[in-house]
């Protein structure tokens, strides 16, 4: 199991493919398995690096509270460990928020950003949702908690008729334990609650693609449009017929759009 020491933590990572490097960052409570259906497509053209964030997957639990900027430095530190100087970043949900911090702390190293299903400032709506999840994770069994999150992640159509591949992936998740621990999840929630990069994004010159499912009810397109309005070079693209977890619900259109964008912004 490949792990890298970054600061005081051991972080799990995986790699696949060859070509221009791209690091994939997953969202709240998730790990690299969330990229299961996107990763093969990206690895056909890129050196794909997948990271389990601190407090998730096979990475260490944190020893104290932290912010998303600390998680961004974890990702930058991993790329240092792998000897990768310049790279693309693809982040989903909390991973997209982490990616924003990466671009702010290491702007010369990031060739492009793909920010999927994400936000730049935690407003009252997201504070209410995340605060509810923070309490629910203490009350519900892990499987019940994930079931409660499902309507926020997927469209009603997908919940009614999920693909066999996602059903199998969810079964594997339940088998190995869907959460690192309740305190670990809550620390990630707290980092999300404090997230606010909106006024800083104007400093960036990084080409950015914002992907959002047209039926995303957790981070609807208004969040992506607010990010794009702050950036010098940004494009918002709606993914039809999909929700917040668009990388699971409609992985092929997701990967196609990511690959097209990365090809337009080569590292050189």
- For the chain, give the percent of residues with pLDDT over 70: 100
- For the chain, give the percent of residues with pLDDT over 90: 89
> CA-CA distance, 112 to 103, in Å (whole number)?
9
Contact 228, 236 (CB under 8 A): yes
Residue 259 above 90 pLDDT?
yes
- pLDDT digits 0-9 by tens, 16-36: 999 999 999 999 999 999 999
**Greatest C-alpha distance within the chain:** 51
Residues 58-78 have a mean pLDDT of 97
pLDDT at 247: 97
CATH architecture of 3-264: 3-Layer(aba) Sandwich (3.40)
Q: Which two tokens stand for residue 190?
A: 């707290």
Residue 191 above 80 pLDDT?
yes
Residue 58's DSSP bridge partners are: none
User: Which candidate, 15, 46, 50, 91, places its Cα nearest to that of 254?
Assistant: 91
Residue 178 above 80 pLDDT?
no
DSSP 102-127: HHHHSGGGEEEEEEES--SB--HHHH
The mean predicted confidence, pLDDT, of the chain is 95
pTM listed for this prediction: 0.96
Domain ranges of the chain: 3-264
Angle between helices 94-105 and 182-193 (to 10 degrees): 60
Residue 153 above 90 pLDDT?
yes
């Amino acid at each position: 199991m490949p792990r890298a020491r970054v600061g005081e933590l051991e972080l799990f990572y995986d790699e696949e493919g060859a070509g221009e490097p791209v690091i994939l960052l997953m969202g709240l409570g998730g790990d690299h398995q969330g990229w299961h259906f996107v990763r093969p497509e990206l690895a056909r053209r890129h050196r794909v690096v997948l990271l389990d964030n601190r407090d998730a997957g096979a990475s260490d639990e944190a020893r104290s509270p932290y912010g998303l900027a600390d998680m961004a430095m974890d990702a930058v530190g991993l790329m240092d460990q792998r000897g990768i100087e310049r790279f693309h970043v693809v982040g989903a949900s909390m991973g997209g928020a982490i990616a924003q911090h990466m671009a702010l702390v290491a702007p010369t190293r990031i060739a492009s950003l793909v920010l999927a299903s994400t936000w730049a400032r935690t407003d009252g709506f997201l504070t209410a949702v995340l605060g509810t999840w923070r309490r629910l994770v203490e009350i519900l069994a892990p499987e019940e908690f994930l079931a409660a999150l499902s309507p926020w992640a997927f469209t009603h159509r997908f919940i009614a008729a999920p693909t066999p591949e996602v059903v199998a992936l969810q079964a594997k998740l339940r088998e190995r334990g869907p959460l690192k621990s309740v305190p670990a999840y809550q620390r990630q929630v707290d980092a999300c609650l404090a997230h606010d990069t909106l006024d800083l994004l104007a400093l960036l010159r990084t080409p950015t693609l914002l992907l959002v499912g047209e039926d995303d009810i957790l981070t609807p397109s208004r969040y992506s449009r607010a990010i794009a309005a702050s950036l010098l070079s940004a494009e918002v693209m709606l993914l039809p017929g999909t929700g917040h977890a668009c990388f699971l619900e409609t992985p092929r259109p997701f990967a196609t759009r990511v690959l097209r964008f990365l090809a337009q912004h080569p590292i050189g």
